[in-house]
Amino acid sequence: MNRLIVPGLALLSALAGCKGADESLLLGTLERERVAVTAQASERITRIDVAEGEAVQAGAAILSLDPRRIDARIAQAEAEVRRAESALAELRNGVRSEIIDAARADLAGALSSTANARRERDRLAELRQRGLVAQADLDQAETVLRNAAAQRDGARARLAERLNGTRIEDIEQGEASLSSAQAAVAQLQLERARYDVVAPRDGTVDALPFKLGDQPAAGAVLASVLAGPVYARVYVPASQRLNVRQGSACTVTVAGSPRTFAASVRSIRSDPAFTPYFALTGDDASRLAYRAELVLGGADADALVAGIPAQAQCSGNAGAGAR
Alpha-carbon distance of 237 to 281, in angstroms, equals: 16
Q: Single out the residue of 259, 234, 196, 245 nearest to residue 43, CA to CA.
A: 196
Q: Does domain 2-66+203-318 have CATH number 2.40.30.170?
A: yes
What number of residues does the chain have?
323
Encode 84-114: b = buried (16+ Cβ within 10 Å), e = exposed.
Answer: beeebeebeeebeeeeeeebeebbeebbebb
Alpha-carbon distance of 290 to 134, in angstroms, equals: 99
Q: Comparing 185 with 94, which gets the higher pLDDT?
A: 185
Query: How open is the CA angle 309-311-316, to the nearest 5 degrees?
Result: 145
The lowest-confidence range among 129-138, 157-166, 251-260 is 157-166
pLDDT the model gives residue 27: 87
Contact yes or no for 55/226 (Cβ under 8 A): no
pLDDT the model gives residue 318: 63
pLDDT-derived band at 316 (thresholds 50, 70, 90) equals: low
Alpha-carbon distance of 313 to 27, in angstroms, equals: 9
Q: Single out the residue of 208, 194, 232 nearest to residue 56, CA to CA.
A: 208
Contact yes or no for 320/250 (Cβ under 8 A): yes
Beta bridge partners of 196: 64
Q: Return all residues near 152 (Cβ < 8 A) that are at least 6 apart.
A: 107, 110, 111, 113, 114
What are the CA-CA distances from residue 183 to residues 78, 111, 244 (Å)?
Answer: 10, 45, 53
Q: Find the helix packing angle between 168-193 and 68-93, rounded to 10°.
A: 160
pLDDT the model gives residue 5: 44
Q: Comparing 2 with 190, which gets the higher pLDDT?
A: 190
Side chain identity, residue 162: R
Q: What are the sequence ranges of the domains in the chain? A: 2-66+203-318, 70-190
Alpha-carbon distance of 230 to 210, in angstroms, equals: 26
pLDDT tens-place string over residues 37-78: 999 899 999 999 999 989 999 999 999 999 999 999 999 999
pLDDT tens-place string over residues 194-210: 999 999 999 899 999 99
Residue 255 phi/psi, 5-degree rounding, is: -60, 130
pLDDT-derived band at 284 (thresholds 50, 70, 90) equals: low
Residue 228 phi/psi, 5-degree rounding, is: 80, 175
Residue 271 phi/psi, 5-degree rounding, is: -105, 150
Alpha-carbon distance of 275 to 15, in angstroms, equals: 12
Q: Comparing 273 with 290, which gets the higher pLDDT?
A: 290
pLDDT > 70 fraction of the chain, expressed in percent and rounded: 85
What distance lies between CA 295 and its chain's CA centroid?
Answer: 32
> For the residues 290-319, what does the mean pLDDT come to?
82
Residue 18: pLDDT above 50? no
pLDDT tens-place string over residues 134-174: 889 888 989 999 999 999 999 988 888 777 767 788 888 99
Alpha helices in the chain (DSSP H): 2-16, 68-93, 97-129, 135-164, 168-193
> For the residues 215-226, what does the mean pLDDT come to?
94
> For the residues 300-305, what does the mean pLDDT come to?
80
Alpha-carbon distance of 41 to 194, in angstroms, equals: 9
pLDDT the model gives residue 302: 76
Q: Single out the residue of 230, 267, 229 nearest to residue 246, CA to CA.
A: 267
Residue 322: pLDDT above 50? no
Contact yes or no for 40/220 (Cβ under 8 A): no
